[in-house]
Structure 1
């Protein structure tokens, strides 16, 4: 049997609970901004130790809303080069200018040095991204730099449900955290996102922005340039049910990652991105770096064709400053990000992954590494 790149896990109990919720929602006719949205918000906030959560249509919307609330229009926003396109797109859509910074090769995240190098006199915000679910141990130092400059730190926590550093949950280190519930995430609502914050003012603004900028749900008085960023009750019900499995899913993924760590330690030149002290990843992605000179496409093709193991998409194969659509914001080479993006692979990690599947991946990666890098 093959090992897929990703697998979405809803067991029979989950499916039954979702079906019951959908029946209830359809019977009441309350299809948006109803009780299931509120339940999901409360449960997600509690799971991450935050006072407030606002459910929205996507992780991209969550990030854009957070940036709109701090007003980045015609100003600079620092973002890391190793992240998904949406991190920079949210800045542009909120009216800001992304300033793309290099990253720490140990964490794929901003470092204090790369952040300092990217700050400008017109910096309005900084976006810290938790790639693969790893919260950098430099997070407090990054927050301190932002505080000294009077600049808000916003977390792109799209990958980081249930991740933490020093016992504090991802999404709670800055003014706001933006989460995604795209289907492949550790927990999903099908589609959707969440704004997490300890600020009641930002919470209130996010509620306005998500509903076309209306001052209240029952009127057509528009006070902000919002959009249709609501989460449907159907999505909220799916998310509420799936969130109950978060701790279980994270533990399963961490066990898989621990076995990968041990196996890859014996492969000369293949370098996993491991957890620094204090960090506790959800292992949304298990990232490793191929030795320089190894053909990544050939590596992925060999593990698939010879061993039935599909490697998931890289995070990411092209850094932000080299994305064609972001060419207007390119300011020069970012050598660390370019090297990381050219060599990284992601080993499969599923929320219900078996020991046999883990063994199959280890066997495949070990054999192909020895063939191509030996």
Structure 2
């Protein structure tokens, strides 16, 4: 991998094949678009698709968009898909962060699609993804192990399927040159050289990431009595990872939302992630499980994700948690300043800009979630706020 970085289409497909085993790639504008493409091409309207109940909301919405029916399943202790309770025609396996999911669900008699976005390069029993799945997808969005800020790819073992996928979308990418395309699914040309560079790095980083992941999780478990990562599936080789999932213990004095707000304004890379039980969200209008998915519904409200790696970030996280969890009443949020009385009108109006929260050093900030930014509270307003008693909304 030394020397000038190659950016031709054949080399990029070769790099993806080394990571996943799939020799044929069709590039689109997002991981969600890649899943839509695979399902439209290989599925049939009305088919049932088993997928983990703990997942990104985009997966079940993509399933429904193309006319298929999502069947939510519980997850095992390694966050892999448990077998569905009802007959299905398709299995969508989603690998968790750095680890491998359950690659055996479904068997050869069902169409099997792998979402390798969070664990590219993972192996199970020495096998790459292509040896167990009919097709796969990768997202190159923000926060992913191979991140371009956008874009995605659909991966196929069957060359005829890849050719049909390109025809289906009316565009193709061949050896670095574009043919016809539609704007709906275009992979931005400007991202292509960057993708080549990211893949070059990924292939170099993969052996180190495999060695590092078990140690990272073990070190976090020792450091954090209130949070712990899930175990890795035995007999697997980890893939690339960009963050570590952490499970907040039951009965903790602060919620994940409380901790995230304090972490944002304290400069600690601890965030909630858009992974939950989508069928419990207010926007979901599709089918729900016929009975509770106990592990999914237990994990979903207690999840946080740590984006750091190595001893220094781990120690910073441990110090932050010691301060925050040692005085939880100071860090609960969101503070409903607009509803507290008798706050002056100018304070209530100012507080409507976002969520008021406190950093580990004691300073007050407003977090504007739409902009994903934090703004210090002006001293005069902070003094006014602290002269009054208020409580977090709903507490």
TM-score when normalising by structure 2: 0.70
1:116 to 84, 88, 104: 84
1:210 paired with 2:181, answer no
Provide the secondary structure at the position in 1 that maps to 2:146.
Answer: coil
C-alpha contact 1:290 1:343 (8 A) present in aligned 2: yes
Q: Flag the 1:257–1:370 CA change in 2: closer, same or farther, 3 A.
A: farther
Q: CA deviation at 1:127?
A: 0.5
1:139 paired with 2:96, answer no
How far apart, CA to CA, are the structure 1 residues paired with 2:325 and 2:78? 23
Q: Which runs of 5+ in 2 are unaligned?
A: 173-177, 329-395
Q: CA deviation at 1:85?
A: 1.3
1:265 paired with 2:222, answer yes
Other-structure match for 2:260: 300
- Whose Rg is larger? 2
Other-structure match for 1:155: 114
Higher strand share: 2
Other-structure match for 1:165: 124
Structure with greater contact order relative to length (CA < 8 Å, sep ≥ 6): 1
Q: CA deviation at 1:300?
A: 3.1
Other-structure match for 2:247: 289
Other-structure match for 2:78: 107
TM-score when normalising by structure 1: 0.74
Per-residue CA deviation, residues 161-203 of structure 1 (Å, 9 max, x unaligned), is: 2222233334552100111111321123332111222112222
How far apart, CA to CA, are the structure 1 residues paired with 2:223 and 2:194? 41
Other-structure match for 1:55: 27
C-alpha contact 2:257 2:272 (8 A) present in aligned 1: no
How far apart, CA to CA, are the structure 2 residues paired with 1:101 and 1:283? 24
How far apart, CA to CA, are the structure 2 residues paired with 1:265 and 1:125? 39
Q: CA deviation at 1:256?
A: 6.8
Indicate the RMSD between aligned Cα atoms, in angstroms. Answer: 3.2
| Count of equivalent residues | 317
Other-structure match for 1:76: 48
Higher helix share: 1
1:238 paired with 2:194, answer yes
Provide the secondary structure at the position in 1 that maps to 2:185.
Answer: coil
Using the TM superposition, name which of 37-46 and 65-74 deviates more. Answer: 37-46
1:347 to 303, 306, 317: 306
Provide the secondary structure at the position in 1 that maps to 2:32.
Answer: helix
Q: Flag the 1:208–1:257 CA change in 2: closer, same or farther, 3 A.
A: same
Q: Which runs of 5+ in 1 are unaligned?
A: 1-16, 22-34, 221-225
